[in-house]
């Protein structure tokens, strides 16, 4: 049984992205959700399935605020930054099974104004192993273990900080074309190379932002989506992949391989497309290195060749694989990748504004989170 | 919200108590499956090779090689602020599993994959001693 194009993204919504707000994550989430529902031409009461991010708002909040009378499906996909894209697979399965017709994915956070990452992580069950065996030694943030992943990649394959800079600089260039990006000043390679060290090899500009804001997406049964307000963006395939030793990177057999490597071939196969068919890619970018590693794990280049792949404008708007056309988590805002889904849909609708990739018909979006979990969705314009 | 200046400590459970007790006595102990002999780390209830829950504890040699590392400069936690910058090294223990710990007396600029190191011990509280990565000699 193929799930290919059984569902489509019918609506997208965002709040303004900020660094500093008095508003609650709940309020931001509701605003983005209402925007997405209105974009689809639906009423809030048409929503019969909800997959909230798991932090900020729960399914019951949407029932309460929207007056939904018969919520028929709710779930969470607790995979950190992979949650948003993983929830596309979850929505697809629920809709195709006949459980519901319109699933709302919504993600809001006060990552800048609320509790910062270091304080959050220790309390999350998926970080228990790290909390017991690594945090006492000072490995507090996943960034420090991701840095060790990047160092290993550098030692094995000759990847350099200059390669990582290329990702940061390209992404910033895209953000400058986006009115809803929180970074508004140009970034040069030199700026990157002289920025302060966070945890080597990561410098400040290898790290994503902490942001306040929310984004949401409505996924609908394809035959219904065809009659809604906007051109449907079909989900050709979606999947999730979990790395070996998912909760302890230290013990992972191959430090340079992420969970998305497990699902990439499967999802491309189900979609029936090749890497060359991808016109635009929104790649989860909590850190520059994570982009580079995913490009390899997705099969756009061989393992170890990610550094060369990102150079020479290849990932820019006129490159062979334009990525993160909105500015990503590095320079637009850290909305845990829901903003990547929103941007992919924009590009495939032709609503990409100044950063529109001309003729973009097929694209992909990835998620990465919780120390290696991955998710991938491939979409096509209807 | 002010963050705690107290360093985080592990939660001692029935699953991991032998590990922490041994560290306090200056020994690095690892779990070995009592059924198939596979060594595993970090401590956990089930062998992923044969799914046996029978476990025995064996003493590690303390010999290891560098697998990867990072030098941390950012104060991710107030409790470590005065120690910045510090080096965290992932090592391959001779027994085939890994460990992540801070270095003592090693120059981060001289680190390389495969470099021989040794596990040392550093007492933090009466109940907790942490492994540290030191020179092999
Ligand atoms: Zn066993």
DSSP symbol at B124: -
Name which of A196, A202, A250 is nearest B90 (Cβ-Cβ).
Answer: A250
pLDDT digits (tens, 9 = 90+) for A232-264: 999 999 999 999 999 999 999 999 999 999 999
Q: Is the peptide bond before B42 cis (omega within 30 degrees of 0)?
A: yes
- Residue B2 belongs to a domain: no
Instruction: Provide the 10 A C-beta neighbour count for residue A60.
Output: 13
Pairwise pLDDT comparison (A132 vs B4), residue with the higher score: A132
Q: At residue A309, does pLDDT exceed 50?
A: yes
Give the tokens for residue A351: 């609503």
pLDDT band at A124, cuts 50/70/90? confident
pLDDT band at A113, cuts 50/70/90? confident
Contact B77 A199 (CB under 8 A): no
pLDDT band at A126, cuts 50/70/90? confident
Mean pLDDT value of segment A184-188? 98
Give the tokens for residue B45: 């209830």
Residue B78 belongs to what domain range?
Answer: 13-134
Instruction: Check if the beta carbon of residue A348 is closer than 8 Å to that of residue A341.
Output: no
pLDDT band at A120, cuts 50/70/90? low
Contact B102 A138 (CB under 8 A): yes
Which residues of chain A lie closer than 8 angstroms to B69, CB-CB? 148, 151
Mean pLDDT value of segment A13-35? 96
Q: What is the phi-psi region of residue A299: left when phi exceeds 0, alpha when psi lies from -120 to 50, beta otherwise?
A: left
pLDDT band at A117, cuts 50/70/90? low
pLDDT digits (tens, 9 = 90+) for A212-223: 999 999 999 999
Please tell me the total count of domains within chain B: 1
Domain A7-114+208-381 fold: Peroxisomal Thiolase; Chain A, domain 1 (3.40.47)
pLDDT band at A55, cuts 50/70/90? confident
Instruction: Check if the beta carbon of residue A37 is closer than 8 Å to that of residue A11.
Output: yes
pLDDT digits (tens, 9 = 90+) for B4-54: 779 999 999 999 999 999 999 999 999 999 999 999 999 999 999 999 999
Q: CA-CA distance, A380 to A369, in Å (whole number)? A: 25
Instruction: Check if the beta carbon of residue B105 is closer than 8 Å to that of residue B134.
Output: yes
Contact B69 A148 (CB under 8 A): yes
Please give the mean pLDDT across all residues of chain A: 96
pLDDT digits (tens, 9 = 90+) for B108-135: 999 999 999 999 999 999 999 999 999 9
Name which of B1, B3, B97 is nearest A251 (Cβ-Cβ).
Answer: B97
Q: What is the phi-psi region of residue A258: left when phi exceeds 0, alpha when psi lies from -120 to 50, beta otherwise?
A: beta
pLDDT band at A273, cuts 50/70/90? very high
The percentage of chain B sitting over the pLDDT mark of 70, rounded to a whole number, equals 97
pLDDT band at A119, cuts 50/70/90? low
Residue of B nearest to A140 (CA): B76
Which residues of chain A lie closer than 8 angstroms to B16, CB-CB? 132
Q: At residue A40, does pLDDT exceed 70?
A: yes
Nearest-Cα distance to chain A for B8, in Å, is: 5
Q: CA-CA distance, A237 to A351, in Å (whole number)? A: 22
Sheet holding B29-33, edge to edge: B39-40, B29-33, B55-59
Mean pLDDT value of segment B99-105? 97
pLDDT digits (tens, 9 = 90+) for A226-240: 999 999 999 999 999
What angle (nearest 5°) sits at the alpha carbon of residue B94, between those of residues B92 and B95? Answer: 100
A263-298 in b/e form (b: 16+ CB < 10 A) is bbeebbebbebebebbbbbbbbbbbbbbbbbbbbbb
Contact A151 B97 (CB under 8 A): no
- Residue B5 belongs to a domain: no
- Residue B102 belongs to a domain: yes
- Residue B7 belongs to a domain: no
Beta strands in chain B (DSSP E): 29-33, 39-40, 55-59, 63-72, 86-93, 98-102, 116-123, 129-134
pLDDT digits (tens, 9 = 90+) for A327-336: 999 999 999 9
pLDDT at B1: 42
The percentage of chain A sitting over the pLDDT mark of 90, rounded to a whole number, equals 93
CA distances A179 to A17, A174, A175, A355, A367, Å, are 10, 10, 8, 11, 23
Q: Compute, in angstroms, the gap from residue B43 CA to the centroid of ligand 1.
A: 13
Comparing CA positions, the residue from B80, B83, B71, B40 lying closest to residue B58 is: B40
pLDDT digits (tens, 9 = 90+) for A276-288: 999 999 999 999 9
């Amino acid at each position: 049984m193929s799930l290919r194009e059984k569902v489509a993204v019918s609506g997208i919504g965002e709040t303004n992205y900020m660094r500093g707000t008095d508003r609650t994550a709940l309020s931001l989430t509701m605003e983005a959700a209402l925007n997405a529902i209105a974009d689809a031409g639906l009423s809030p009461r048409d929503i019969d399935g909800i997959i909230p991010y798991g932090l900020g708002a729960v399914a019951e909040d949407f029932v309460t605020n929207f007056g939904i009378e018969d919520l028929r499906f709710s779930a969470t996909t607790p995979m950190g930054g992979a949650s948003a894209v993983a929830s596309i697979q979850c929505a697809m399965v629920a809709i195709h099974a006949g459980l519901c017709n319109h699933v709302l994915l919504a993600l809001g956070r006060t990552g800048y104004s609320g509790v910062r990452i270091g304080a959050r992580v220790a309390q999350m069950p998926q970080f228990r192993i790290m909390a017991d065996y690594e945090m006492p030694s000072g490995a507090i943030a996943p960034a420090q273990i991701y840095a060790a992943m990047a160092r290993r990649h550098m030692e094995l394959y000759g990847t350099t900080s200059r390669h990582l800079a290329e990702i940061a600089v390209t992404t910033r260039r895209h953000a400058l074309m986006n009115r809803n990006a929180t970074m508004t000043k140009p970034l040069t390679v030199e700026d990157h190379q002289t920025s302060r060290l966070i945890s080597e090899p990561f410098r400040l500009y290898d790290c994503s932002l902490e942001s306040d804001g929310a984004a949401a997406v409505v996924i609908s049964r394809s035959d219904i989506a065809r009659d809604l307000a906007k051109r449907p963006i079909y989900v050709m395939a979606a999947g999730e992949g979990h790395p070996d030793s998912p909760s302890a990177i230290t013990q992972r057999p191959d430090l340079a391989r992420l969970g998305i490597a497990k699902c990439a071939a499967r999802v491309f196969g189900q979609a029936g497309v090749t890497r060359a068919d991808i016109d635009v890619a929104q790649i989860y970018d909590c850190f520059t290195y994570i982009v580079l590693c995913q490009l390899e794990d997705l099969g756009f280049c061989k393992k170890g060749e990610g550094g060369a792949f990102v150079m020479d404008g290849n990932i820019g708007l006129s490159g062979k694989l334009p990525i993160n056309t909105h500015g990503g988590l590095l320079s637009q805002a850290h909305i845990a990748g829901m903003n990547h889904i929103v941007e992919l849909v924009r590009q495939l609708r032709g609503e990409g504004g100044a950063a529109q990739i001309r003729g973009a018909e097929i694209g992909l979006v990835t998620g990465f989170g919780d120390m290696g979990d991955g998710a991938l969705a491939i979409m096509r314009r209807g | 919200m002010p963050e705690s200046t107290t360093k985080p400590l592990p939660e001692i459970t029935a699953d991991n108590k032998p590990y922490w007790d041994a560290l306090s006595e200056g020994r690095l102990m690892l779990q070995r499956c009592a059924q198939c002999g596979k060594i595993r780390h970090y401590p956990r209830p089930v062998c992923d090779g044969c799914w046996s829950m029978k476990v025995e504890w064996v003493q590690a040699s303390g010999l290891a090689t560098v697998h990867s590392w990072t030098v941390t400069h950012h104060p991710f936690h107030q409790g470590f602020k005065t120690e910045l910058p510090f080096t965290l090294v992932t090592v391959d223990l001779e027994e085939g599993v890994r460990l992540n710990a801070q270095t003592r007396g090693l120059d981060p600029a001289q680190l390389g994959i495969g470099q021989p190191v040794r596990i040392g011990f550093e007492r933090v509280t009466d109940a907790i001693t942490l492994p540290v990565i030191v020179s092999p000699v």
